[in-house]
Amino acid sequence: MPEQKTPLTRRKLLSMIGQVAGGSVMYQAMTSLGHAAESSYTGPIQLGKAKPGASVVVLGAGLAGMVAAVELRNAGYKVTVLEYQNRAGGRAWTLRGGDSFTELDGTTQTVGFAKGNYLNPGPWRVPHNHHAMMDLYRRYGIQLDVFNQVNHNAYVHSSKAFGGKPQRFRHVSTDFRGHVSELLAKATNQGALDAVIRKEDAEKLLAALKSYGALDKEYRYAASLHTSEYRGYDIDPGGGLMDRAKASQPIALHDVLQSNLWSQIGAGNLTEFHSTIFQPHGGMDMLPKALAKDLGQAIQYNARVTQIAQNDKAVTVSYTRNGAPQQVQADWCVCTIPASILAQMDIQVGDTMRAGIEALPYGSSMKIGLEFKRRFWEEDERIYGGITNTDLPIQQISYPSNDYMSAGPAVLLGAYAFENTNAYRFSSLTPKERIRLAVEYGSQIHPQYKQEFRNGVSVAWHRMGWIQGCFGAWNDTLREQHYDNMAQIDNRLVLAGEHISFIPAWQEGAVLSSLNAVQRLHAKAAAL
């Protein structure tokens, strides 16, 4: 697969806006693009009591479906959940050794990871400001680990800069900040900002830039023990008669700018990536397992929905389970089936809702998990968690944020292509070829790859038959035309899921959508 220039994704664009214009402008841009990830959740909902004998059928046992089912059951509804797969959780999925799954073309992968190792092929982190998710973790007693999003000792990498050699994040980040601070200090001292800043503010600005950019007394960013406190030393301070500390040499401004590596250092400025970020201990499916246990026999697995019909009194869902056709009738329906699948089904809804379902495209995503014989990134390179970004088609390498310094095999995320042509390009290949390329590309950053590699697994979301995509890919025009229509209660049916939210591709969006849907559905049921 030939190397391609990585396109400007929404996340990269937002990161660049944050670097140049600051957090407030970045947040406005996030809002306009549907990526404002701060949650509006204020606490558990209180539905009140359902009418005696009231019933609901919930389609899908992902997070949105199970949260809806729990809330409605607690309110007194008789709840039935139909789930297409033989497990709960949907995209909140964890792959462990021995697990197997099949793609659209019939290709089956069996995971070969050692015991205790795993990959989260869908969601893999939870921001601290996703309050509904954090509340669910607390309510169900799910242990959380800190997810290391920004590691200053990880790498940023361009195949076209520095001879293809990866650079430490701390070097590029510190040098970019230092050089920009020096330029701004020069402009301030030369009076170039006199028209926009008062004298007393200019003095404060110079003091701030000196501190922020690690500048010397002449407001220069240059090699010194002081700058090395930020970017690291060539020889670290020691003790006794060890060699004295030696300052490191900053990368020249021209080289930083021309490398384009500055575009890889700003992701941590996005609100969704602010510390602290979490991950469930043991895998992302810990919460789905707890919800499924709570719901018990209310969930029917291996249930493939084929038709949704409704009238003024009830909803009838036809489905096959283990090859046998069946039906369930209920007063109400909460449908969390992704629009990518719902658009292919026989459903009885109004024209405006149907138009929205059929119009909503699904974004691309592809992940590859690679298991290695040892944690060479820790042992050889002192990288403990965090993410290396690269212009290679794999785009990201994420190091595990758990079990630090443990012996034996370990899994890292060897490729994560999200919402761009790299995701489609990888998805067009066989799993074996995807994994081979991930090892090949990754070895340009970590030469240990080929010697240490054990096995891998790849999930290309457009090839997963039960969703055929990763997330609802709204834009402003589509939202204006269809979003409200899709979110309305259609007679006795309401849609829920991340695709019916303003936090797409996040579990928080799915949960908030679900909570809002059941509140409105219950209010309508109570009013009849």
pLDDT for residue 510:
98
As a whole number, mean pLDDT of residues 324-330 equals 98
Q: What are phi and psi of 336, to 5 degrees?
A: -110, 15
Best CA proximity match to 509, nearest among 519, 523, 494, 499? 499
**Does residue 133 contact residue 508 with C-beta atoms inside 8 Å?**
yes
Q: How confident is the model at residue 38 (pLDDT cuts 50, 70, 90)?
A: low
Contact status, residue 333 vs residue 57, Cβ threshold 8 Å: yes
Could you check whether 93-153+276-282+363-463 and 169-259 share the same CATH topology? no
Per-residue pLDDT at 140 exceeds 50: yes
Residue-level pLDDT at 22: 37
Question: Side by side, which strands form the sheet with 126-127?
Answer: 126-127, 277-280, 144-147
pLDDT at 322: 86
Say how many Å lie between the first and final Cα of the chain, rounded: 60
Residue ranges of domains in the chain: 55-87+286-360+474-527, 93-153+276-282+363-463, 169-259
Instruction: Give the list of residues 6+ apart from residue 431 with CB closer than 8 angstroms, or none.
Output: 103, 107, 109, 457, 458, 460
CATH number for 93-153+276-282+363-463: choose from 3.90.660.10, 3.40.50.720, 2.40.128.20, 3.30.1050.10.
3.90.660.10
The distance of Cα 25 from the centroid of its chain, to the nearest Å, equals: 22
The letter for the amino acid at 400 is: P
User: May I ask the CATH architecture of the domain 55-87+286-360+474-527?
Assistant: 3-Layer(bba) Sandwich (3.50)
Sign of the torsion formed by the C-alpha atoms of 67, 70, 73 and 78: positive
Buried b / exposed e along 364-395 (16+ C-beta atoms within 10 A): bbbbbbbbbebbbbbeebebbbbbbbbbbbbb
pTM higher than the cut 0.85? yes
- The 10s digit of each residue's pLDDT in 362-408 is 999 999 999 999 999 999 999 999 999 999 999 999 999 999 999 99
Residues 158-206 pLDDT 10s: 999 999 999 999 999 999 999 999 999 999 999 999 999 999 999 999 9
Residue 405, judged by CB atoms within 10 A of its CB (0-12, 13-18, 19+), counts as exposed
Residue 10 has pLDDT above 80, yes or no: no
Tokens 């993410």 belong to 387
Does residue 311 have a pLDDT over 80?
yes
Helix axes 63-74, 507-527, angle to 10 degrees: 30
pLDDT classification of 1: cutoffs 50, 70, 90: low
Domain topology for 169-259: de novo design (two linked rop proteins) (1.20.1440)
pLDDT of 437 strictly over 60: yes
What is the rounded average pLDDT of the residues 479-504? Answer: 97
pLDDT surpasses 50 at 426: yes
Mean local confidence (pLDDT), 67-96: 98
What backbone torsions phi and psi does residue 210 show, to the nearest 5 degrees? -60, -40
- Structure confidence at residue 37 as a pLDDT band (50, 70, 90): low
Is pLDDT of 335 > 50? yes
Residue type, 249: Q
Digit-coded pLDDT (tens) for 282-303:
999 999 999 999 999 999 999 9
84 Cβ contact partners less than 8 Å away, ≥ 6 residues apart = 60, 302, 303, 304, 305, 466
Look at residue 339 in the predicted model and tell me its pLDDT. 98
pLDDT 10s digits, 211-249: 999 999 999 999 999 999 999 999 999 999 999 999 999
* Mean pLDDT to the nearest integer, 143-157: 98
Beta bridge partners of 332: 56
Confidence of residue 12 (pLDDT cuts 50, 70, 90): low
Instruction: Tokens 């039906």: give the residue.
Output: 327
- Beta strands 55-59; 78-82: pairing state: parallel
pLDDT bracket for residue 419 (50, 70, 90): confident
